[in-house]
Amino acid sequence: MREKLKEWFDSTKTAVMVVMIGLFVVMAMPFSAFAADPSGAETLAQNPQAPIDYVWVLVCGFLVFFMQAGFAMVEAGFCRAKNATNLMAKNTIDFVVASLVFMAIGFAFMMGNDYKGLIGTTGWFLHGANYDVGKYLMFFWQLVFAGTAATIVSGAVAERLKFKAYFLYSLAVSAIIYPIYGHWVWGGGWLAKLPFGAGHVDFAGSGVVHTIGGFVGLAGALVLGPRFGKFGKDGKPRAIPGHSITLAALGTFILWFGWFGFNPGSTFSAHQLRIAVVAVNTNLAAAAGAAVAILLVFMKTKKWDVGMMLNGCLAGLVAVTAPCAWIEAWAAVVIGAVAGTLVVIGVYFWEARGVDDPVGAVSVHAINGVWGLISVGLFADGTYGLCTTSEPLVRGLFYGGGYGQLIAQLIGAAVCITWAFGLGFIAFKLMDKYFGIRVSPEEELKGLDIPEHGTPAYPNFYTTNQN
Amino acid sequence: MREKLKEWFDSTKTAVMVVMIGLFVVMAMPFSAFAADPSGAETLAQNPQAPIDYVWVLVCGFLVFFMQAGFAMVEAGFCRAKNATNLMAKNTIDFVVASLVFMAIGFAFMMGNDYKGLIGTTGWFLHGANYDVGKYLMFFWQLVFAGTAATIVSGAVAERLKFKAYFLYSLAVSAIIYPIYGHWVWGGGWLAKLPFGAGHVDFAGSGVVHTIGGFVGLAGALVLGPRFGKFGKDGKPRAIPGHSITLAALGTFILWFGWFGFNPGSTFSAHQLRIAVVAVNTNLAAAAGAAVAILLVFMKTKKWDVGMMLNGCLAGLVAVTAPCAWIEAWAAVVIGAVAGTLVVIGVYFWEARGVDDPVGAVSVHAINGVWGLISVGLFADGTYGLCTTSEPLVRGLFYGGGYGQLIAQLIGAAVCITWAFGLGFIAFKLMDKYFGIRVSPEEELKGLDIPEHGTPAYPNFYTTNQN
Amino acid sequence: MREKLKEWFDSTKTAVMVVMIGLFVVMAMPFSAFAADPSGAETLAQNPQAPIDYVWVLVCGFLVFFMQAGFAMVEAGFCRAKNATNLMAKNTIDFVVASLVFMAIGFAFMMGNDYKGLIGTTGWFLHGANYDVGKYLMFFWQLVFAGTAATIVSGAVAERLKFKAYFLYSLAVSAIIYPIYGHWVWGGGWLAKLPFGAGHVDFAGSGVVHTIGGFVGLAGALVLGPRFGKFGKDGKPRAIPGHSITLAALGTFILWFGWFGFNPGSTFSAHQLRIAVVAVNTNLAAAAGAAVAILLVFMKTKKWDVGMMLNGCLAGLVAVTAPCAWIEAWAAVVIGAVAGTLVVIGVYFWEARGVDDPVGAVSVHAINGVWGLISVGLFADGTYGLCTTSEPLVRGLFYGGGYGQLIAQLIGAAVCITWAFGLGFIAFKLMDKYFGIRVSPEEELKGLDIPEHGTPAYPNFYTTNQN
């Protein structure tokens, strides 16, 4: 009997279904007493200027959502045709899982009433007093960010992770890892209150989103080990070219486009006209990152490396995400240029250490997420505060702010790395012990599309032996 | 002489040209006296808050327009490479035809001054008093919806319908079928005034757009019959895999993205802060639909079916389109989950009955459009009215609203199905009798791209025998 | 020694690096004294209605940025698989270069304080008094337009231009050619002050962006000469089909979508409710252009030519860009229909003259840019002024405005053609003399992807001999 129960729980479908059903049952709780302002009439009466802020936040949120398509295209483009269906599945399911789980518990952990600076404790299932236009707006915004954090991981673990594991770590990221760290920085938690500078600050999430996603991805890549054929018998890395540069470029453009929601929208208000500065800085960092990355590789190989240019662009975007509201245009160029350099170094660095990150997600998001956090402590120019024009203004070393802000940024970065890598490593190790997270060698060589999904991505085309 | 005239009319080009020229001649009427407010100065003076509403409606309308790209990618992805050019042609021409025809007469039928609850009668060619910023805004919004209704059909009739027929039914949908039914619900017509609940309501068009498009598609699929090879000699359905899962996934993401315009924009005003609730509900239904669809198929086949997940996502979006403004988050999850179930059942249901719907358009749009209409009568929670916070509030069975709203919804759904299927069937039958709507067997086997368009979609790639 | 220095300068990398480093050095100037309003607080205090205008301009600007993805997809789709990586590289680098160079000097030339109607002279590197929310907003808007002008060229010179040359002409377009002409029309320069009609007017840039880009492209195509195999030994043109009609269609939809930012956003204010009229006109011209182009080709070849329909759509969009704010809906249809005709004629015209324009960029942008400028002088109806509802209203020949406006438009068009073609020709000729702008015959036959970039676009697929 006990055996049978265990077996019952072991099977994937049941485990997943239990989670889902549990979730639904709780949600179908007695229909909530309506508190707050579900129609928006009172909110509008109190603040007749609210509509423009709602429009701004929603439209920017839509753009952030659209980044899911960008990640899907970039990852598919940089991976092989035999895993393209799998990557589509992963990049869809992570946002699907994030949507449901973040609504159930993630949002409460992140933005609920603070408990000792550690965690939020209210807002489960958007119930009761959370049936309010302002709360729903906040939820929507935080959700699309949670989904981004979850999706970053998939690039680093591509082409060898079981779909089931993807399902479960998406759940872990969007229910626990992302929202709790997010609470510390954006939910009124302890990092925001560090007694250095203006506390640890991260305007749009170089740390909260990208460092978190990147280091969970690194943990996954380490637990998984490299793909077959990535390293020769001599241990030297070999290039495994992606199957569609056009899709990779399209994905990068979509991400760049979506980032114009990600960064400027993080003011959470259109009344912060600083949004114009944020948009410009975002764009300049992307351009500088792309330019430097392609030039660096050209100097080494005499080839204009498109993949590296695209990653340089994304690296610039990741890095400028934390400082974008607190810097001048020239600083955005410098931050982006450094990011473009770091991503090139990063790709070689990880390869040289036997880490296989198929799309460069670790170099783009983990490394440059950290660089973005640090750059605030250097370049913040003291003209703007925490999403407002009021004090405290954020000021870094180069603008006479001393070391305070830099220290706050370094502490935050260290915590972020430890939290994301630690929990990510535990999660992947646990799953690996429990059911084995890597597909079989036969499946990996054949590609994951048919064994996991039953469908090749491109059945009408002849494909080469993709190893 | 009579013979010759007939022959002259018979030829495609002339028929089409006559329509076009007629259209142009009428448009080139004596330059209209300017009435109303073409510059917008008066409108602004009367309502200084108008700009935010204009921005909201336009930006959401742009997103809805972009759904055309989503439909094109989904349909191409789920069909074979040998028909990809044809699908691009169809998905472009339907919006082209809709734009011109809806401007000429559709808009007048739909939103013109009401005649006995049946039809609108003013606003032809946006002339005269319609040269007004408010009218143009309304036209733009309704046009992108009309274009969506037209484009839904193409999935169901894919891979075998003549391009000419596509041209003509797009015209029928955007000139007659969509706008007249639309008038009944959104133009002040009789369905909106049903003496049950708040009358028949359909917030963003589960019925007006998706049920209409889906049932016209069903009619087309029935008149056409299944594709060669879809059913074996034993009558059993065979899978005909699409040629690009990456494009199908990209298309789904684009549709999901566009739906954030479709649903929240349907307030037609940013002063309805309820837009935040609408956005959240839209997203949750999509996620729930995708999750349930992939899990259901997994339980049956042990494969994570990406195609079904994408269709589950779209099914959730279609279903929540009618109720999105009148429900809580948990209800959106339930509505989406039911939609995900219905789409799986639907696909098997139609296949088992010998209906060939290459991309699942009928299961996604027709079935779930109806489910969406019905769900309003169940889940509407009475916190919000008809695009306003004023009475009458919409309240369904589960929130103490009794059966009134449910009855109104059922009546509307029945009318919608009858109207769309009936007129669609007549249109396809008439065309079939007149010139034969299906391409020849040779053309179908070869693919439509070269015989109809002269251009294969992928001339640089070797393709397999796609049957 | 002199020899060595020359050699040093000759090498690509150094030339490029010198430019980049020089740029950086200047940017890293002593941290600027903050003038103006970097936080936006004062601007908001003076104009509490500013947020809606900022949101409108930014969101529209994001859409215009996204057109980069559209151009990339259209150009790749219409070219061969063996050059797809190259086209991705080009379409990314042009916006990268434009971003950096336009920030450094282009913006100052275009929108800086006017010097005798010829050129702007302030605002270098967005320094000093330009660290202001309003200036950054203006910069962002003008930048995405500059990037569009640069990217138009790439289609005309596709499949044979060296990447280095692309790098450098992007620099020339975004630093000199575009901004100086832009200053004449939009920066308070002499063309705007022509003593005919309301001066030379160009609402959203049929001339400033499209004619400029198109004629620089024509110059490039002429200097380069046609691709191998484009013309037979008898001199007759041969079709070289593009490798992906789906990507071409996707790109067209993205461009159409982005154009809803391009044209309506050019009011630079949401308080101009005329934006609704602009959006409708933009859409109608696209539809009319597509319809006419596909019908014309059908009458000739009995095939529904998708490529020509897509180009017809883009032609309509280009043409309506100048007049979109000053015309009625019916005029937009007529302007688009003429554009659809012109693009068909254009394609045959250039081919007959031995000019090889792989994607039809010259016919779409150069020809129809000019038609758009002229159409203002014919169809402007006198209901709206220069981005305002105030005088002077723009009125063309058909609405009783006499020949004044038409003359202003013709002068502007002539200047635009001369400037763009002249400077473009000089630039390409100079580069050609200096280092040879065309790749070697071997590289061209093999495709540019591997020799220039080291990466084929689709390594997992078998491709045909693409000549």
R_g of chain C computed on alpha carbons: 22
C47 interface with B at CB cutoff 8 Å: no
> At A237, is the secondary structure helix, strand, or coil?
strand
R_g of chain B computed on alpha carbons: 22
Question: Residue B226, Cβ neighbours under 10 Å: how many?
Answer: 17
Closest CA relative to residue B290, chosen from A148, A98, A452: A98
For A225: left if phi > 0, alpha if psi spans -120 to 50, otherwise beta; the answer is: left
Q: Kindly report the CA angle at A171 between A250 and A4, in degrees rounded to 5?
A: 130
CA distance to partner chain C, nearest, from residue B251 (Å): 10
Contact (CB<8Å) C279/B59 = no
Beta bridge partners of A381: A395
| Domains, in order of start, for chain B | 50-453 (1.10.3430.10)
- Residue of chain C whose alpha carbon sits nearest to that of A251: C69
C-alpha torsion B75→B79→B81→B83, nearest 10 = -80
- Cα of B55 vs its chain's centroid, Å: 24
pTM of the model: 0.96
Q: Which residues of B touch C159 (CB under 8 A)?
A: none
Please give the Cα distance from C55 to B220 (Å, whole number): 43
Q: Which residues of A touch B56 (CB under 8 A)?
A: 51, 55
The whole-number average pLDDT for the span C37-46 is 94
Q: Which residues contact B87 (CB under 8 A, 6 or more apart)?
A: B72, B75, B76, B79, B154, B158
Please report which confidence band the pLDDT of residue C20 belongs to, taking 50, 70 and 90 as the band edges.
low
B137 interface with C at CB cutoff 8 Å: yes
Q: What is the pLDDT of residue C466?
A: 80
The H or E element containing residue C114 is: strand C114-115
C-alpha torsion B184→B189→B195→B197, nearest 10 = 60
Task: Give the Å distances, CA to CA, from A466 to A88, A131, A145, A462, B107.
Answer: 18, 51, 34, 11, 53
CA distance to partner chain A, nearest, from residue B210 (Å): 22
Q: What is the pLDDT of residue B328?
A: 94
Is the pLDDT at C462 greater than 90? The verdict is yes
Contact (CB<8Å) B273/A51 = yes
Contacts 24+ apart (CB under 8 A), A443-446: A444/A159, A444/A160, A444/A227, A444/A228, A445/A228, A446/A82
Please report which confidence band the pLDDT of residue A121 belongs to, taking 50, 70 and 90 as the band edges.
very high
Q: Which of C279, C399, C464 sits opposite B140 (nearest CB)?
A: C279
Q: Which of A44, A73, A96 sits opposite B273 (nearest CB)?
A: A44
Please give the Cα distance from C230 to C104 (Å, whole number): 40
Task: Give the Å distances, CA to CA, from C151 to A70, B320, C209.
Answer: 21, 40, 10
Beta bridge partners of A115: A119
Closest CA relative to residue A202, chosen from A294, A320, A284, A295: A320
Structure-token pair, residue A257: 């486009």
Please give the Cα distance from A148 to A153 (Å, whole number): 9
| B 144-163: CB under 8 A from C | 163
DSSP conformation class of A21: H
DSSP conformation class of B161: B
Q: Kindly report the CA angle at B87 between B86 and B91, in degrees rounded to 5?
A: 120
| Greatest pairwise CA separation for chain B in angstroms | 71
The whole-number average pLDDT for the span A46-61 is 97
A75 interface with B at CB cutoff 8 Å: no
C-alpha torsion A181→A185→A189→A195, nearest 10 = 130
Please give the Cα distance from B156 to B215 (Å, whole number): 10
Q: What is the pLDDT along chain B (467 residues), one digit of tens a residue?
A: 556 655 655 555 555 655 665 555 555 454 445 568 999 999 999 999 999 999 999 999 999 999 999 999 999 999 999 999 999 999 999 999 999 999 999 999 999 999 999 999 999 999 888 999 999 999 999 999 999 999 999 999 999 999 999 999 999 999 999 999 999 999 999 999 999 999 999 999 999 999 999 999 999 999 999 999 999 988 899 999 999 999 999 999 999 999 999 999 999 999 999 999 999 999 999 999 999 999 999 999 999 999 999 999 999 999 999 999 999 999 999 999 999 999 999 999 999 999 999 999 999 999 999 999 999 999 999 999 998 888 899 999 999 999 999 999 999 999 999 999 999 999 999 999 999 999 999 999 999 999 999 999 999 999 998 87
CA distance to partner chain C, nearest, from residue B289 (Å): 26
- Tell me if C228 sits within 8 A of C80, measured CB to CB: no
What does the pLDDT look like over C139-191, one tens digit per residue?
999 999 999 999 999 999 999 999 999 989 999 999 999 999 999 999 999 99
Is the pLDDT at C19 greater than 70? The verdict is no
A126 interface with B at CB cutoff 8 Å: yes
Contacts 24+ apart (CB under 8 A), C191-197: C191/C411, C191/C412, C191/C415, C193/C117, C194/C408, C194/C411, C194/C412, C196/C404, C196/C405, C196/C407, C196/C408, C196/C411, C197/C377, C197/C392, C197/C394, C197/C395, C197/C401, C197/C404, C197/C405, C197/C406, C197/C407, C197/C408, C197/C409
Count of A–C CB contacts within 8 Å? Answer: 223
The whole-number average pLDDT for the span A2-22 is 58
Q: What is the pLDDT of residue A388?
A: 87
CA distance to partner chain B, nearest, from residue A435 (Å): 16
Please give the Cα distance from A160 to A156 (Å, whole number): 10
Is the pLDDT at A1 greater than 80? The verdict is no
CA distance to partner chain B, nearest, from residue C312 (Å): 11
Q: Which residues contact A303 (CB under 8 A, 6 or more apart)?
A: A297, C452, C453, C454, C455
Please report which confidence band the pLDDT of residue C467 belongs to, taking 50, 70 and 90 as the band edges.
confident
Q: Which residues contact C7 (CB under 8 A, 6 or more apart)?
A: none
Question: Residue C113, Cβ neighbours under 10 Å: how many?
Answer: 12
Is the pLDDT at A427 greater than 60? The verdict is yes
Q: What is the pLDDT of residue A30?
A: 45
Q: Are strands C114-115 and C119-120 parallel, antiparallel or unpaired?
A: antiparallel
Contact (CB<8Å) C459/A250 = no
C-alpha torsion A291→A297→A299→A304, nearest 10 = -70
Q: Which residues contact A109 (CB under 8 A, 6 or more apart)?
A: A119, A120, A175, A176, A179, A180, A183
Q: What are phi and psi of C320, to 5 degrees?
A: -80, -5
Q: Kindly report the CA angle at A231 between A228 and A237, in degrees rounded to 5?
A: 135
Please give the Cα distance from A46 to A437 (Å, whole number): 52
Contact (CB<8Å) A329/C136 = yes
Q: Kindly report the CA angle at A304 between A298 and A307, in degrees rounded to 5?
A: 110
Residue to test with chain A: of C23, C25, C49, C54, most A Cβ within 10 A: C54
CA distance to partner chain B, nearest, from residue A233 (Å): 33
CB-hemisphere CA count at 13 Å for C65? Answer: 30
Q: What is the pLDDT of residue C30?
A: 44
Q: Which residues contact B116 (CB under 8 A, 6 or more apart)?
A: none
Q: What are phi and psi of B381, to 5 degrees?
A: -105, 5
Please give the Cα distance from C308 to B24 (Å, whole number): 21
Task: Give the Å distances, CA to CA, from C286 to B333, C255, C308.
Answer: 39, 11, 13
Beta bridge partners of C115: C119
What does the pLDDT look like over C374-406, one tens digit per residue?
999 999 999 999 988 888 999 999 999 999 999
| A 313-342: CB under 8 A from C | 313, 328-330, 333-334, 337
Q: Which residues contact C280 (CB under 8 A, 6 or more apart)?
A: B126, B136, B139, B140, B143, C329, C332
Q: Which of C286, C307, C463 sits opposite B461 (nearest CB)?
A: C463
- Tell me if B286 sits within 8 A of B333, measured CB to CB: no
Contact (CB<8Å) A133/B273 = yes
Q: Which residues contact C467 (CB under 8 A, 6 or more apart)?
A: C228, C229, C445
- Tell me if A453 sits within 8 A of A88, measured CB to CB: no
A76 interface with C at CB cutoff 8 Å: no
CB-hemisphere CA count at 13 Å for A218? Answer: 25
Q: Which of C250, C389, C466 sits opposite B460 (nearest CB)?
A: C466
Sign of torsion over alpha carbons C345, C349, C350, C351: positive
DSSP conformation class of A321: H
Q: What is the pLDDT of residue C1?
A: 58
Size of chain A in residues: 467
Q: Which residues contact C45 (CB under 8 A, 6 or more apart)?
A: none
What does the pLDDT look like over C222-273, one tens digit per residue?
999 999 999 998 889 999 999 999 999 999 999 999 999 999 999 999 999 9
Residue to test with chain A: of C42, C90, C91, C99, most A Cβ within 10 A: C99
Q: Which residues of C touch B55 (CB under 8 A)?
A: 52, 55-56, 59, 270, 275
Q: What is the pLDDT of residue C391?
A: 84
Please give the Cα distance from A93 to B318 (Å, whole number): 19
Q: Which residues contact C374 (CB under 8 A, 6 or more apart)?
A: C406, C409, C410, C413
CA distance to partner chain A, nearest, from residue B286 (Å): 8
Is the pLDDT at A2 greater than 70? The verdict is no
ipTM for this prediction: 0.95
Q: What is the pLDDT of residue C6?
A: 55
Contact (CB<8Å) A283/C99 = yes
Chains in touch with C (3+ beta-carbon pairs under 8 Å) read A, B
Q: What are phi and psi of A402, to 5 degrees?
A: 70, -165
Q: Which of A73, A76, A126 sits opposite B329 (nearest CB)?
A: A126
CA distance to partner chain B, nearest, from residue C136 (Å): 21
Question: Residue C46, Cβ neighbours under 10 Å: how many?
Answer: 9
Count of B–C CB contacts within 8 Å? Answer: 224
Q: What is the pLDDT of residue A16?
A: 60
Please give the Cα distance from A52 to B273 (Å, whole number): 10
DSSP string, A266-313: GGS-TT-TTHHHHHHHHHHHHHHHHHHHHHHHHHHHSS--HHHHHHHH
